[in-house]
Each structure stands twice: as structure tokens, then as C-alpha cells.
């Protein structure tokens, strides 16, 4: 295999692993956050606005991890910095 094939294969596999591993953590974290928020709402219905506001801010921060993994995957697939290195030295 030439260097271009190796870089393409490694980029695609790494992008897939990045999305797979990078989406499991946020999914589990979001599920746990929502479950805890629902439990808190059941125990203290008067604090609904505070709990939901804090929940949505926390969910946005958790979701940013998955978005960063998606951006890294897209860079590896479409704008890989190793392509120019392989073209020059290949």
C-alpha cells in the first residue's frame, strides 16, 4: 500500500472511532442529567424554572463535547492536514 492509502484508511477509521467513542460519553451524561433533573423536579416542584434552566445549560455544555468530536471527524475526513505531507513526500 502506498502512503495515500494508509493515510486515507487511518483517517476514516480514526474518524469513525472518534464519533463512536465521542458520542457515548455525552449520551450517557445527558441521560443521567435528565434523570436527575426529573427526580429533582418530582421532589421540589416549586424550583422548576431554576432546575430546568440549569439543566439546559448543562446539556448544552455536555453536547459541546460531541460537537467537538464531530468537528474533528470532519477535519480528518475532508480537510486532513496529512494529505499535503503525503503529496509532497509521496
Give the model confidence (pLDDT) of 35-89 as tens digits: 999 999 999 999 999 999 999 999 999 999 999 999 999 998 888 877 777 777 7
Alpha-carbon gap, residue 7 to 81, rounded angstroms: 10
Query: Given a cut of 70, is residue 1 above it in pLDDT?
Result: yes
pLDDT digits over 47-59, tens only? 999 999 999 999 9
List pLDDT tens digits, range 20-35. Answer: 999 999 999 999 999 9
Residue 18 is placed in which grid cell? 472518534
Rounded CA-CA distance 85/57 in Å is 41
* Class of domain 19-89 (CATH, top level): mainly alpha
Amino acid at each position: 500500500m502506498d502512503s495515500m492509502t494508509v493515510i486515507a484508511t487511518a483517517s476514516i477509521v480514526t474518524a469513525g472511532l472518534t464519533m463512536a467513542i465521542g458520542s457515548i460519553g455525552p449520551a450517557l451524561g445527558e441521560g443521567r442529567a435528565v434523570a436527575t433533573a426529573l427526580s429533582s423536579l418530582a421532589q421540589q416542584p416549586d424550583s422548576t424554572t431554576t432546575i430546568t434552566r440549569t439543566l439546559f445549560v448543562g446539556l448544552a455544555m455536555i453536547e459541546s463535547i460531541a460537537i467537538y468530536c464531530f468537528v474533528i471527524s470532519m477535519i480528518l475526513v475532508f480537510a486532513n492536514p496529512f494529505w499535503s505531507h503525503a503529496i509532497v513526500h509521496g
